[in-house]
C-alpha cells in the first residue's frame, strides 16, 4: 500500500481528459495534476525542447512525492517517454493514439488520426501504424487550432466548430469510419466532432480508458494502491500563473 499521490502531467488542459478517467476509476487515490501552461502548446516545438520540459515537469511531481507519473500528453510521450523512463525510477505511463483498436474495428478500412504535428512524426506512432495498419488507410491530420481553442475554453464557439469541420470533414469524405483523437486536448472537442459527423456511422475513440487500465495494472504490480480508507488529496499546479491554475481546477471539476 502507498498513499502517495499519482502525478498527471500535460502541456496544459488536455491531460484533464485522462485525469477525469483516473479520478472516476480510482476514488481512493490522491492526484496531483501539473498543467504546464507556460509553454503550451507543445505540438510544433523541437523534440529536444519538449524533452527538457517533460523532465522538468516529472521532476517537479516526484519532488512532491508522486509514486507514479502519467504523461497525459501525446506530444510529450512521443518526444520524451524513453528519456523519462531512463532518468527516473518510478513507473511512468505514456500515451499513444489508439491506432491498434481503430484498425481492428474499421469496416471501411479507412481510419483518421487527429493529433499534433510532433505526435504524428513520433517513432512510436509510425511503428504502431506499420504494425497494425496493414491493409488500412490511415489518414493523418493535424488539428490546427484545436489545442488553443480548448485552452481558451472555446469548445462550443462557432469559430471552433468551423476549425474542426475543416479538418474532420475531408477525413470522413475519404471513407473513414473511425476517428482517433490522438491528443488529450481533443476529447474536449468530442461533442463538436460528433456534430460534424452527424448521422454518419463514424466511431470517435481516444486512449483515456486504456491509460487508466494501465495505471491500475502498475499499481497492482508494484503494490502501490492507496489504502481503501485513504482520504484522497486533489491538487492542481502549473508553471503559469494562479489564474491559469484556477482555470485548470475549474475545468477538471466541471465548473
Active site residues: 73, 183
Strand 92-93 relative to strand 110-115, pairing: unpaired
Are residues 150 and 187 in contact, defined by beta-carbon separation less than 8 angstroms? no
CB within 8 Å of 50: residues ≥ 6 apart? 42, 75, 76, 79, 80, 118
Are residues 182 and 115 in contact, defined by beta-carbon separation less than 8 angstroms? yes
CB within 8 Å of 100: residues ≥ 6 apart? 128, 131, 132
Residues 182/184/186/188 CA torsion (nearest 10 deg): 150
Question: Which position has the grid cell 504546464?
Answer: 36
> b/e for 207-221, b at 16 or more Cβ within 10 A?
bbebbbebbeebbee
Strand 110-115 relative to strand 178-181, pairing: parallel
Amino acid at each position: 500500500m502507498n498513499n502517495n499521490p499519482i502525478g498527471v502531467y500535460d502541456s496544459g488542459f488536455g491531460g484533464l481528459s485522462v485525469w477525469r478517467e483516473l479520478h472516476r476509476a480510482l476514488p481512493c487515490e490522491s492526484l496531483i495534476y501539473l498543467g504546464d501552461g507556460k509553454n503550451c502548446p507543445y505540438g510544433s516545438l523541437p523534440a529536444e525542447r519538449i524533452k527538457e520540459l517533460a523532465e522538468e515537469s516529472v521532476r517537479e511531481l516526484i519532488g512532491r512525492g508522486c509514486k507514479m507519473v502519467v504523461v497525459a500528453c501525446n506530444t510529450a510521450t512521443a518526444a520524451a517517454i524513453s528519456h523519462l523512463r531512463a532518468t527516473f525510477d518510478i513507473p511512468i505511463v505514456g500515451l499513444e493514439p489508439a491506432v491498434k483498436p481503430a484498425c481492428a474495428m474499421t469496416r471501411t478500412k479507412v481510419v483518421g488520426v487527429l493529433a499534433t504535428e510532433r505526435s504524428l512524426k513520433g517513432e512510436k506512432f509510425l511503428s504502431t501504424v506499420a504494425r497494425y495498419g496493414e491493409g488500412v488507410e490511415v489518414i493523418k491530420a493535424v488539428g490546427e487550432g484545436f489545442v488553443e481553442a480548448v485552452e481558451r475554453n472555446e469548445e462550443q464557439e462557432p469559430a471552433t466548430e468551423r476549425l474542426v469541420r475543416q479538418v474532420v470533414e475531408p477525413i470522413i469524405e475519404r471513407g473513414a469510419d473511425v476517428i482517433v483523437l490522438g491528443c488529450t486536448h481533443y476529447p474536449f472537442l468530442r461533442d463538436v466532432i460528433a456534430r460534424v459527423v452527424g448521422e454518419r456511422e463514424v466511431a470517435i475513440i481516444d486512449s483515456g480508458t486504456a491509460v487508466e487500465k494501465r495505471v491500475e495494472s502498475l499499481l497492482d504490480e508494484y503494490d502501490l494502491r492507496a489504502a481503501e480508507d485513504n482520504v484522497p488529496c486533489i491538487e492542481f499546479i502549473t508553471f503559469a500563473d494562479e489564474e491559469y491554475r484556477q482555470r485548470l481546477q475549474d475545468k477538471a471539476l466541471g465548473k
